[in-house]
Chains A and B, each alone.
Chain A
Amino acid sequence: MFSKILIANRGEIALRIIRACKELGVRTVAVYSEADADSLHVRFADEAVCIGKAAPSESYLNIPSIVSAAEITDVEAIHPGYGFLAEDAHFAEICESCHLKFIGPTPENIKQMGDKMMAKDTMKKAGIPVIPGTENVIKTKEEVLKEAKKIGYPVIIKASAGGGGKGMRVCHNDVSLVGAFLTAQSEAEAAFGNPDVYMEKYINEPRHVELQILADEKGNVVHLGERDCTVQRRHQKLIEESPSVSITDKMRKEMGEEAVKGAEAAGYVGAGTIEFLVDGNNFYFMEMNTRIQVEHPVTELVTGIDLIKEQIKIATGAKLPFKQEDIKFNGCAIECRINAEDPENDFRPSPGKIEAIYKPGGPGIRLDTHVYAGYVVPPYYDSMIAKLLAHGNTRQEAIDIMLRALSEFLVEPIPTTVDFHKRVLSDSDFRSGKYSTHFIEKYFPKKEE
């Protein structure tokens, strides 16, 4: 086991990783920007190093600063969390060359799966169903019209280097296609530094179901079940649950097997997630996320497996301590991402000081959060302040527990999405399980883009 690990992240995930390390007897080093000097992850870690100013580019994305911090604190490994440098192949390579173990997949895994088209290609070759789409990057207006005709409307244009909903455009006809193609290219260039776009068949009213996998360095791969992340707003996940009510047991078994096959085909190491789009009885590979995800606690609750600890153990070279048949699923879990955002005003971020907070508790509740009374939510980073999870024997029970917990959750004076989640969980469509990724729009109609 490592003697000391540096956590190259902040907020709730940094705290999560520090907790796992403590339980494993590993010493921890936190890094922080000047804006995070009073953060809990700084206080909970054994050591802390200030690495730069508030802006992520000067701190949490500042590779030289982070590697220097690792050097002066003499750590053996770095856990990148999610976001920031978690899927930066260059950072993973630098860690390797500095003899720091990057707790995550290999740089090759990151590069291969980071290129959305290459990822799709790898999966297709492994026999995994993929969404019908272009084989290559679309370069010209003529090509884009030709491909759309071949695939059949509606189509979606996506950034090859993309994610998080950026650089995506849906088109229903030739008229809007070329304009959308050009806009998607420039958006992709701006967001990811790479204007490459490709096209896929657009599936209306899809369900988003992802499979968690774990793979050790010896080629053993298991899946830990699915998470349904269909409730999203502008492609940002809001609520996640396991098991998914939109797939049959037969599909569940198949998707699990395909996910393992995919991870094996990619030679994947570590914790990863294979995302599928579900359209009725069909499922298609969408993309693979080469990191631990925000919603990983949903899987932890239904399987009883600590994913962060497993990540760390895999990084030491250890063999997975379980086989697929050892993985058991228990009950239903739901996660609500609580953000410092104002739902009454188009979800605009609401940073500021939390004067008072009452955190929910009681049976069936798990709360992952880094905030406390007196904490100032900084304006420089993402707005998530807590992950509230409920675990029950049935989906209904989990929803009831979550509603009860949400009613206890008080944060003052900044607006948060707590009440919004209460309304969603009380909604009859949500409760019946019949909803698609467009579900949220009925609450907050999207402005025409």
Chain B
Amino acid sequence: MNIKKIQELIELMNNNNLGEIEIEQEGQKVKLKKTTAQGIIEQVVPQAAALQQPQAAAAAPAKPKEAAGNLKEVKAPMVGTFYRSPSPDSEAYVDVGKVVHKGDVLCIIEAMKIMNEVKSEFDGKIVQIPVENAEPIEFGQTLFLIEPI
């Protein structure tokens, strides 16, 4: 991974209005994350080293990235743990590519032992799910990117 490559990645990010990009190549992993106006380049880590899992909100709080174009963000209405399915052995409520309608349940946020359903506010297609199953999430965190139809 050299400076030229990293510059190319930054250009890629800017041209596509991306807030975050992660590239794995030849046993090396690079993650670039934009916060406010400046970019922060995280360490280049060899594949073997355990990647430090950023906490629910990193030391520099990540602002929800600007949704590119006409994508709408579904943001967490509360603090808790994000679950993609109603129970560990059921299927996920939605997957990338699924068309959802207003009122459909998208996920569960668990807080204080209570499961809270998060429903879609509009019709659209799921384009991205930037959070992992069982990940702790904070208020306002982007859970789904939906392309309205």
Contact = CB atoms under 8 A, between A and B. Distances in A.
A64 B140 contact: no
Contact of B80 (A50, A53, A72): A72
A98 B56 contact: no
A73 B78 contact: no
Interface stretch (B3-11, B44-52, B58-66, B92-100): B58-66
B139 A37 contact: no
Nearest to B63: A37
Given A34-B140, A50-B141, A51-B79, A71 B61 contact: no
B48 to A, nearest CB: 26
A65 interface: yes
A37 B35 CA distance: 12
Given A37-B63, A50-B140, A65 B56 contact: no
Interface of A: prevailing SS = mixed
A47 interface: yes
Interface in A10-56: 32, 34, 37, 42-43, 46-53
A72 B141 CA distance: 14
Among all A-B residue pairs, the 6 with the closest Cβ atoms: A72-B136, A68-B111, A68-B79, A50-B138, A47-B55, A49-B138
Q: How large is the interface on B (under 10, 10 to 19, 20 to 34, 35 or more residues)?
A: 20 to 34
A64 B56 contact: no
A71 B112 contact: yes
Interface of B: 55-61, 63, 78-81, 111-112, 136-141
A238 interface: no
A43 B112 CA distance: 26
30 contacts: A34-B139, A34-B140, A37-B63, A46-B59, A47-B55, A47-B59, A48-B55, A48-B57, A48-B59, A49-B57, A50-B57, A50-B138, A50-B140, A51-B79, A59-B139, A65-B78, A65-B139, A67-B112, A68-B78, A68-B80, A68-B111, A69-B79, A69-B138, A71-B80, A72-B56, A72-B80, A72-B81, A72-B137, A73-B136, A98-B112
A203 to B, nearest CB: 47
A65 B79 contact: yes
B71 to A, nearest CB: 21
Contacts of B140: 34, 50
B55 A71 contact: no
Contacts of B136: 72-73
A59 B138 CA distance: 12
The listed residue with most A CB atoms (<10 A of its CB), out of B55, B56, B61, is: B61
A128 B79 CA distance: 46
Interface in A252-300: none
A34 B81 CA distance: 19
A53 B76 CA distance: 12
A48 B60 CA distance: 9
Contacts of A65: 78-79, 139
B76 to A, nearest CB: 9
A43 B61 CA distance: 8
Contact of A50 (B60, B61, B112): B61
B80 A42 contact: no
A97 to B, nearest CB: 10
Contact of B79 (A34, A46, A49): A49
A42 B61 contact: yes
A321 to B, nearest CB: 33
Contacts of A50: 57, 61, 79, 138-141
Contacts of B56: 47, 49, 72-73
B55 A68 contact: no
B134 to A, nearest CB: 10
A69 B81 CA distance: 10
Contacts of A46: 55, 59
Contact of A64 (B57, B59, B60, B112): B112
A64 to B, nearest CB: 6
Contacts of B59: 43, 46-48
Contacts of A37: 61, 63
Given A48-B59, A51-B139, 16 more contacts: A32-B61, A42-B61, A46-B55, A49-B139, A50-B57, A50-B61, A50-B79, A50-B141, A53-B139, A64-B78, A65-B139, A67-B112, A68-B78, A68-B112, A72-B56, A72-B81
A53 B79 CA distance: 12
B113 to A, nearest CB: 9
The listed residue with most A CB atoms (<10 A of its CB), out of B59, B63, B79, B136, is: B79
Contacts of B61: 32, 37, 42, 48, 50
